[in-house]
Amino acid sequence: MAGIYVHIPFCKQACHYCDFHFSTNLKHKSDLVTALCEEIKLRQQYLGTSVIETLYLGGGTPSLLSATEMDRLLNTLHQHFSLTPLAEVTIECNPDDLTPEKLKQLQQQGFNRLSIGLQSFNDAELKWMNRAHTAHESLTCIKRSQDAGFNNINIDLIYGSKFQNEKEWQHTLAQVVELNIQHISAYNLTIESKTALGFQHAKGQEPGIDEALSKQQFLYLIQFLNTQGFEHYEISNFAKPNRMAQHNSRYWLGYSYLGIGPSAHSYNGLERQWNLSNNARYIKQVQAQHSFFETETLSTDNRYNEYILTRLRTKWGCNLQDIEGQFGSNYRIHFLERINTMPQYLLKIENTYCLNEAGKLMADKLAVELFV
Ligand code: SF4
């Protein structure tokens, strides 16, 4: 069984750090939804099954779709795919969109998990990020979501900005825990060159990231959330028992998924596809049923590298039998040769290798060492 991701590429305003694909021009929202519905029909064979265990609406800001637009999209999905009775159905939302009416609508439409982009509880920082909400809205939208009946809520947080010293970060996390939510995704701020923050940084108007402080904050995050009953199951993700994100876990465990919408990626075990990252061209090409994605057939080396990159970041780690079974004995030999040079970064449980705290601080670098 598999999952579907739908990318909704619209936002009210551009956050200064963001390099996802989105547009603040909402004029073509309805045409885009029509193209999404068309793509769903065109790609219904991709997964080799119509049974879906997870549906994830991300973006962009999916909570910007009107009730009618959302109905059109979901009706088309339901016409071509069957969600299992316990399917996880997630929508990414921003705090300022979550009115009581909107929450009711989302619940009636079958969403059972919210992923809310809080990012910070500091108004000055939110303004600096160019977020469209305030710290007060960050706090109240959670209570409102819970009152509406949502009991599976993720919040996104960003650490490492110039606004957060160690004390501020500790205060943020203490507030988060008080919210009684089930899942936290916490990301270290990065400065991407093609963002407003990237341009300001290049002109010397914004400082770089204080890496030492970021590391301190990451270690505090792991330790503190552990004492509060959250399991650290992926570098940036923490969950209460039985509340791990099913959809994202499937990416990390190598399951197939279909990505619908501009810039969305799909994977079926053998090849990877990615859609055009331009709304107007995406709409036009889908209407013409022509060349709206590119495809890469994955070699065994590609698949092995991808396994390492994703699994090393998770609590499931890299397993020797998996490596031999999926890629062959040469890859097992290669993996063992490399992994044995980095014992200080590892926890080894039988034939599975996971990162310890020191390793988690440099997961991507260690993954590169293990690549073929
Ligand atoms: S709301 Fe999300 S997707 Fe949109 S600009 Fe901000 S961070 Fe990016």
In CATH, what number is assigned to the domain containing residue 59? 3.20.20.70
Q: Is the residue at 97 inside a domain?
A: yes
Query: What percent of the chain is modeled with pLDDT above 90?
Result: 98
**142 shares its domain with 67:** yes
Could you write out the three-class secondary structure of the chain?
A: CEEEEEEECECCCCCCCCCCCCECCHHHHHHHHHHHHHHHHHCCCCCCCCEEEEEEEEECCHHHCCHHHHHHHHHHHHHHCEEEEEEEEEEEECHHHCCHHHHHHHHHCCCCEEEEEEECCCHHHHHHHCCCCCHHHHHHHHHHHHHCCCCCEEEEEEECCCCCCHHHHHHHHHHHHHCCCCEEEEEECCCCCCCHHHHHHHCCCCCCCCHHHHHHHHHHHHHHHHHCCCEEEECCEEECCCCCCHHHHHHHCCCCEEEECCCCEEECCCEEEEECCCHHHHHHHHHCCCCCEEEEECCHHHHHHHHHHHHCCECCCEEHHHHHHHHCHHHHHHHHHHHCCCHHHEEEECCEEEECHHHHCCHHHHHHHHCC
* Ligand 1 centroid to residue 177 C-alpha, Å: 24
**112 shares its domain with 185:** yes
| pLDDT category of residue 357 using cuts at 50, 70 and 90 | very high
What average pLDDT score do residues 155-168 get? 95
pLDDT of residue 365: 96
| pLDDT category of residue 1 using cuts at 50, 70 and 90 | confident
Q: What is the pTM of this model?
A: 0.96
* Ligand 1 centroid to residue 15 C-alpha, Å: 6
| pLDDT category of residue 256 using cuts at 50, 70 and 90 | very high
Query: Going by CA atoms, what residue is nearest to atom 6 of ligand 1?
Result: 15
**45 shares its domain with 175:** yes
Q: Which domain holds residue 194?
A: 2-252
Which of 201, 236, 252 is at the close of a domain? 252
Which of 228, 252, 276 is at the close of a domain? 252
Which ligand 1 atom lies nearest to the CA of residue 130? 6
**How many domains does the chain contain in total?**
2
**56 shares its domain with 169:** yes
Q: Provide residues with CB under 6 Å of ligand 1.
A: 11, 14-15, 18, 20, 22, 59-61, 94, 117
**176 shares its domain with 56:** yes
Q: Is the residue at 238 inside a domain?
A: yes
Q: Is the residue at 309 inside a domain?
A: no
Q: Is the residue at 303 inside a domain?
A: no
**233 shares its domain with 355:** no
pLDDT of residue 254: 93
Which of 252, 273, 299 is at the close of a domain? 252
**215 shares its domain with 325:** no
**322 shares its domain with 193:** no
pLDDT tens string 283-339: 999 999 999 999 999 999 999 999 999 999 999 999 999 999 999 999 999 999 999
Average pLDDT, the chain: 96
Whether 183 has a pLDDT exceeding 80, the answer reads: yes
